[in-house]
Structure 1
C-alpha cells in the first residue's frame, strides 16, 4: 500500500506542482510584454491562460499533501522532522500562492483588460512583487523536493 500511495503522491506532485510553478513563473514575463506592447487580444489571452493554469493546477495540487500525509502514515514516519518541515513549507508555499501570486495575477489581468483603475506603471510595479512571489513559491517547492529525496535521518541511506 505504501508503494502505491507513494507513486500517487509523486505523480500528483509532478502533474500538479510542475505546471503551476511553470505557469506562475511565466506569467510576469508575458504580462510585462503585454504591458510594454499594449494588450492586444493575443497577449491578453496568453496572460489569462497562464492565470487559469495556475488556478486549476493549484486546486489539483491539494492532492499532493493529502497523498503525502497518507503515505507518511502508512510508512510510519509522520513524526519525522524532515516530514514536518516539508509540511510546514508546503503550507507556506500554498499561502504564497493563494495570498500573493493569484491575487496579483488577477490584478495584472484587470489592468491589462482595462477593468481596473490601475495604470500600466502601477501594474508593472505589481509585476516585480509578483515575480518575487513566484520565485519564493518555486524555491519553497525546491526545498520540499530535496527534503523528500534526502530525508535527513532516513534509514534507507538513499
Structure 2
C-alpha cells in the first residue's frame, strides 16, 4: 500500500505542482508585455488569462499532493520525523505564498487587462503588483525545490533509503 500511495503522491506532485510552477514563472513577463500594449497585445492578453487559469486550477488540484503525502507518511510510519515536518511547513509556506501574493497579483493584472484603459487606477496597481511577482514566484518555486530535496534525501529517515 505504501508504494502505491507514494507513487500517487509523486505523480500528483509532478502533474499538479509542475504546471503551477511553470505558469507562475511565465506570468510576470507575459503580464508586463500585455499591460505595456503594443504589437501582440491580444495574444499576450490571452496568454495572461490562460496562465492565471492554469495557476488557479492546478493549485486547487495540488491540494491532493500534501493530502496524499500525509496519507503516505502515516502508512510508512514517518509522520513525526523532522524532515517530514519541515517539508510540511515549507509546503504550507509555499501555499500561503501562492494564495496571499501570487494569485492576487495575477488577478490584479487580469483585472487591469479587462478594464482596457491604461489610465485607470487598476492598471497602475497591477503594474505595481507585478514588481514583486517574479520574486514571489521564485520563492514559491524554491520552496517546492527544497521540499523535493527533503523528500529525496530524508535526513534522519529510518526508512532505509
Q: TM-score range by the shorter chain?
A: over 0.9
Shift of 1:115: 6.3
Question: Which residue is 1:126 aligned to?
Answer: 129
Give the number of equivalent residue pairs. 158
Q: What is the aligned-residue RMSD (CA, Å)?
A: 1.7
Q: Deviations over 1:93-142 (max 9, x none)?
A: 11110111101100011112226843645422211111111111101001
Query: CA, structure 1 residues 14+49, in 2 after alignment: closer, same or farther (shift >3 Å)?
Result: same
TM-score by length of 2: 0.91
Question: Which residue is 2:8 aligned to?
Answer: 8
Runs of 5+ unmatched residues, structure 2: none
Q: Partner of 1:152: helix, strand, or coil?
A: coil
Question: 114-123 or 31-40, which moves further after superposition?
Answer: 114-123
Q: Partner of 1:43: helix, strand, or coil?
A: helix
Question: 78-87 or 41-50, which moves further after superposition?
Answer: 41-50
TM-score by length of 1: 0.93
Query: CA, structure 1 residues 157+70, in 2 after alignment: closer, same or farther (shift >3 Å)?
Result: closer
Question: Which residue is 1:150 aligned to?
Answer: 153
Question: Which residue is 2:29 aligned to?
Answer: 29
Moved over 3 A (4+): 119-122, 155-158
Runs of 5+ unmatched residues, structure 1: none
Task: Quote the Cα distance in structure 2 between the aligned partners of 1:156 and 1:88.
Answer: 21
Question: Which residue is 2:71 aligned to?
Answer: 70
Q: Partner of 2:121: helix, strand, or coil?
A: coil
Question: 113-122 or 10-19, which moves further after superposition?
Answer: 113-122
Question: Which residue is 1:111 aligned to?
Answer: 112
Q: Partner of 1:78: helix, strand, or coil?
A: coil
Task: Quote the Cα distance in structure 2 between the aligned partners of 1:119 and 1:15.
Answer: 33
